[in-house]
Amino acid sequence: MSGVTHLVFGFGFGLIILYLTNNRFDLRRVLIFGTNNYIGPDLRVLILGLFLLFGFPEDNANWLSIVLVHSAYGWPLFSLVVALIYYYFSHYTIEKTEKFIPTLIRLKEPAMSYLDCYKLTLAGGLFHFHLDWLFHPNTPEYTAIMSTGNFEQPFQPWTAPPIHWSMLFTGIIMLSFGYLMLWIFAMKNWSQKEKFINAVKLNILYAIFYLVWLGAWLLVTGDPLPVGEESDFGQIIFYGIVFFFPLILVATSFERSEFMKAPQIN
């Protein structure tokens, strides 16, 4: 049984997005995102039951249901099927009759496209792993994230000279990022849209650059690079999968805001 925290977390997040987008991310979308954050990948118990029914040995059935449904690689595929249910219901709206019984009323056109249903099903499910990977004891994902950090020697450059060169390099990356971000916002001839797009590009560029840098070091030496007591490599991948990618899916699942559509005059 999925914990109620999933429910509160997903719906809480969805409702804040609804508020921030002035209802363009509407209640229907909150419902799909929130429901999948709650129950999405835990639908694996249904698949497990099916496998057991067909006589699979329990160990295999358990493993297979995790791979197919309750994993970051299985869920994107399984979502294709789950999204069909939400797409079916996007042909209906719900209204309360005088007898206090909610009834389904068929719409002339579906309220959402299948693609948007899929995006939100996928996003909600990936968001689900946010809690699962962090707060179940010793999950393989949590162990993998932490293994990319250097926690052996406490890293305090101000008390332990000389400063390690990797710290210096990280400092240069950090400062140049800040400078370039300010540079983008200060550009006179760029529209708000251009500034936004370039800021996003800069962010992605730095994430990739840093990931390649840390990953290459890890691969060559087998040791995580000391960049402070952080597991940066694992964290970037973790937040990419369970936070930023789902949010990008959410952000592109409804009508885009005005400033992204029309050319702006500053």
Q: Which residues bind Zn ion (CB under 5 A)?
A: 42, 132
CB of residue 125 vs Zn ion: minimum separation in angstroms?
A: 9
Residue 214 or 242 having the CB closest to Zn ion: 242
CB of residue 114 vs Zn ion: minimum separation in angstroms?
A: 25
CB of residue 169 vs Zn ion: minimum separation in angstroms?
A: 38
The answer to whether 236 touches 163, Cβ cutoff 8 Å, is no
Residue 116 or 132 having the CB closest to Zn ion: 132
Three-state secondary structure call for residue 189: coil
The answer to whether 199 touches 181, Cβ cutoff 8 Å, is yes
CB of residue 134 vs Zn ion: minimum separation in angstroms?
A: 12
Give the separation between CA 179 and CA 260, rounded to whole angstroms. 25
Task: Report which residue type is found at 171.
Answer: G
Tokens of 213: 């840098």
Residue 29 or 70 having the CB closest to Zn ion: 70
Give the separation between CA 148 and CA 76, rounded to whole angstroms. 25
Residue 42 or 232 having the CB closest to Zn ion: 42
CB of residue 132 vs Zn ion: minimum separation in angstroms?
A: 4
Tokens of 99: 């007898």
Exposure of 149 in the CB half-sphere (CA atoms within 13 A): 19
Three-state secondary structure call for residue 102: strand
Residue 132 or 232 having the CB closest to Zn ion: 132
